[in-house]
Structure 1
């Protein structure tokens, strides 16, 4: 049995080291960062170790050599200089009105001013910040290290409220701009967050930051690589396999399917979600640990407001410019990618295009389950039971029961969705069949207002065609005319061909025919 103390929820490096918690050594990368540049930005999903990395940097700039005993940094660093540090953590406030940001900035500035003093002429946040940096350098003789954690929390919480978001941008833009104007007094600065608000936002004047979010040399700075698992957790993985009555190879494969798959750079190694990984070893069972710790409501708001076709999420193609920026809040893909719900699956070098997809099973299943209450009448407590009933009906060959249940998912379609009913019907079908597909084999395709679907169980194969304001007869005819069922006709399982029509007038499934 492993004797590791897993640092679940531990974000303070000193507490982790003094408390005997296990640490996967990232200090060689941190050493490279502080020695090869001065200004950085890093975007990573929540619960990926950004706060622990900031805390590690803080311990390094405090000169606390004893905390790095036995780590790569101990051998790499020879000087161990103590620098003045300004650590700003924006993760501790709820940003629902302009003064909520003002309060946290003022509280931090007053604390720093109690150490380094103030001047009456410094009346704005940016003037006060600049004055503190200047005096900290003058009083200590060492340039300042500035560490900003979750810099984007105010803007994320204000997505959908343009007036509030503009207020936060107007406050933070000159505040962060101090990092450029006070360069002579600054040794090192890093901003971390989930997203990068580009163009019209806080970064427009801050062009001296090196963005390492999609930099291959720092891809493993946060998160765990497969090599790190085998170097650090081989005993834990064997114990997990024993507990789950699996072979070592089966447990390693399941771990990869559930939690690996994050690619922040094209053609790079996969990164495992560290929060889910540690929880799996702590509890010795697989679970949706990362997804259960947060509710990405801002993502759903973006998807619905931009009338996004959810099926496109499984094969998005986009450019590096889009992935690296957020233009206001009208485009959902950069936010979804940077938040960790989509990741790079492949890269077309000729056209410089990235294909995105869900990183792993935990994210895919968790995200689609989370979407269901926002697009159907069922809440998050009812949703799993409804999907369970769908799966049982499909496995039992109860086609009519299945479609009667599917009808209930379209009942009481909200009025605001009527104007985009075609998209709504496609999104509901995508959610239902995506969730069903975690238990039976499913292939789902959409184009020009119609859906074709194949579901396979151990006994049955269903080939379905959905029409919008056509007829069920036309849908069935299309299955036969286009030979959709041909690949399965030699199969020993019972084959059903099903034509379905969705009516705009009734806003529901009007008829289905089975052959």
Structure 2
């Protein structure tokens, strides 16, 4: 049983504080950002604490000092000025066309208008926002704070549909246009979202907004750092370890493997996914929480649009910041959407040559993303696929590659096959997806060596397998290719026995024809 209350699904700061739930103190960041400027945008993956951050900002700007007792900002703030706050949550505007979204905007505006006694509103969302700002300013004599949470939620599900996206974008541009016009009457403007849309498309007038998404100073403003976990959640770690029957250090290691690994700037500390971490402590179980909490439909749609292969997604890649921290509406690759949505993250930064290394953050994301790819690249029967992968892992743990391939041969021979399977690359992608489900193993494709490339490299707990694939030929031909290029020498330093595997696929039977293991 969990040792205390966790704010699972609760994103209202005052409720968390009043109910004495766990709160990881981010208030020093809020004080610093409020003192440093006026217009800000923060992008973070879903369920990373953006809504709680906005709610905390609202309580701060409304001057609710009593809620911040014992928190960092209590010692930093001396004035506690109460400002009028307009808070718009766009997360409810999903799966809508432009007309439906205009109605949704109308409801959100009406909520704020009632608070300020506006009984009859003017026409147009932009004019209504201007009237709201003017009314709040006139009634209080104070500058107005505008907080917009999940600004891009209405656009994500149609990001692959150009016509619908353009109409929604025009509606949103119209709504946000007053934010610069009303500048003298505004104290602070803060917007959050997942994706980065260009200022020209959404904030065409608001050209002075500062994007802090990759600022070192604010890298830990959302999420939970390792230090925060070890200090503020130390008892929770001990309770988890006891429930699992493992030691504290092993529990920490498993937490890091499953939920850590995010970095949002060149000097970012290791960040844990807060949603997964809190659910893990609440259940005292290491489950896949973040990915199962929402199907990334928009991501899979965009992968189909860009004809992206699994090996393009679940892989390590080097890139300039402009190639992943880029507006998603005019991206030329899937990378910006993958990064901004949290499916890949920064793993390293090379200051000398100014480039970043990106990869999947952790096991939870890797397995979740791989499972999401199964219907498109293997079969719609995801249960059969995951069960087969589990049995393959058990066989490989016994160093039984022959048994693993027999399992794979039977599996492929009994599932409905995908279209366009008459090329070798299809089977490479298929094996990559299946092997990527083996969470404690490492798999890579097209691994370069001085003498050529290996189709698939699979590193298990005990062995390194070099796998060469052929289609409608023979396994012996695949094995000869390994021998000709002397791949074994390239991997001799890995410290594990190197085993060569030649596999031939039969296009007519849609499964493995034969194989050779040496």
TM-score, normalised to structure 1's length? 0.90
Distance 2:120 2:176 in 1: 21
Conservation of the 8 A alpha-carbon contact between 1:212 and 1:218: yes
> Which residue number corresponds to residue 24 of structure 1?
24
Post-superposition offset of 1:507 = 6.5
User: Deviations for 1:32-69, whole angstroms, at most 9, x for unmatched residues?
Assistant: 11111111100111111111111111111111111111
1:413 equivalent among 405, 418, 437: 418
Conservation of the 8 A alpha-carbon contact between 1:449 and 1:468: no
> Which residue number corresponds to residue 161 of structure 1?
161
SS in 1 for 2:323: helix
SS in 2 for 1:445: strand
Conservation of the 8 A alpha-carbon contact between 1:225 and 1:272: yes
**Structure 1 residues 456 and 29: alpha-carbon distance in aligned structure 2, compared to 1, 3 A threshold:** closer
1:376 equivalent among 378, 400, 413: 378
SS in 1 for 2:290: helix
**1:165-204 to 2 correspondences below 5 Å:** 165-198=165-198, 201-204=201-204
TM-score, normalised to structure 2's length? 0.90
Conservation of the 8 A alpha-carbon contact between 2:440 and 2:460: no
Q: Which runs of 5+ in 2 are unaligned?
A: none
Conservation of the 8 A alpha-carbon contact between 1:144 and 1:188: yes
Distance 2:121 2:44 in 1: 38
> Which residue number corresponds to residue 431 of structure 1?
433
User: Is it true that 1:452 corresponds to 2:453 in the alignment?
Assistant: no
Distance 2:257 2:493 in 1: 32
Post-superposition offset of 1:183 = 0.6
**1:209-220 to 2 correspondences below 5 Å:** 209-220=209-220
**1:270-309 to 2 correspondences below 5 Å:** 270-309=270-309
**Structure 1 residues 34 and 494: alpha-carbon distance in aligned structure 2, compared to 1, 3 A threshold:** closer
Post-superposition offset of 1:473 = 3.3
User: Deviations for 1:242-288, whole angstroms, at most 9, x for unmatched residues?
Assistant: 22222221111211111111100013211111111111221222221
**Structure 1 residues 199 and 322: alpha-carbon distance in aligned structure 2, compared to 1, 3 A threshold:** farther
1:466 equivalent among 442, 466, 469: 469
**Structure 1 residues 362 and 52: alpha-carbon distance in aligned structure 2, compared to 1, 3 A threshold:** same
SS in 2 for 1:398: helix
> Which residue number corresponds to residue 13 of structure 2?
13
Greater Cα shift, 331-340 or 478-487: 478-487
1:335 equivalent among 311, 327, 337: 337
Post-superposition offset of 1:116 = 4.0
Post-superposition offset of 1:215 = 0.8
Conservation of the 8 A alpha-carbon contact between 2:501 and 2:517: yes
> Which residue number corresponds to residue 240 of structure 2?
240
Conservation of the 8 A alpha-carbon contact between 1:195 and 1:339: yes
Q: Which runs of 5+ in 1 are unaligned?
A: none
Conservation of the 8 A alpha-carbon contact between 1:41 and 1:209: yes
Distance 1:391 1:3 in 2: 35
Greater Cα shift, 347-356 or 135-144: 347-356
User: Is it true that 1:479 corresponds to 2:482 in the alignment?
Assistant: yes
Post-superposition offset of 1:3 = 4.5
**Structure 1 residues 422 and 163: alpha-carbon distance in aligned structure 2, compared to 1, 3 A threshold:** farther
Q: How many residues of Structure 1 are paired with residues of Structure 2 in the alignment?
A: 510
**Structure 1 residues 213 and 444: alpha-carbon distance in aligned structure 2, compared to 1, 3 A threshold:** same
> Which residue number corresponds to residue 4 of structure 1?
4
> Which residue number corresponds to residue 324 of structure 2?
323
Conservation of the 8 A alpha-carbon contact between 1:10 and 1:16: yes
**Structure 1 residues 493 and 349: alpha-carbon distance in aligned structure 2, compared to 1, 3 A threshold:** closer
Greater Cα shift, 154-163 or 317-326: 317-326
Distance 2:347 2:279 in 1: 26
User: Deviations for 1:76-102, whole angstroms, at most 9, x for unmatched residues?
Assistant: 222222211111001123323222211
Greater Cα shift, 165-174 or 133-142: 133-142
Post-superposition offset of 1:223 = 0.8
Distance 2:392 2:335 in 1: 30
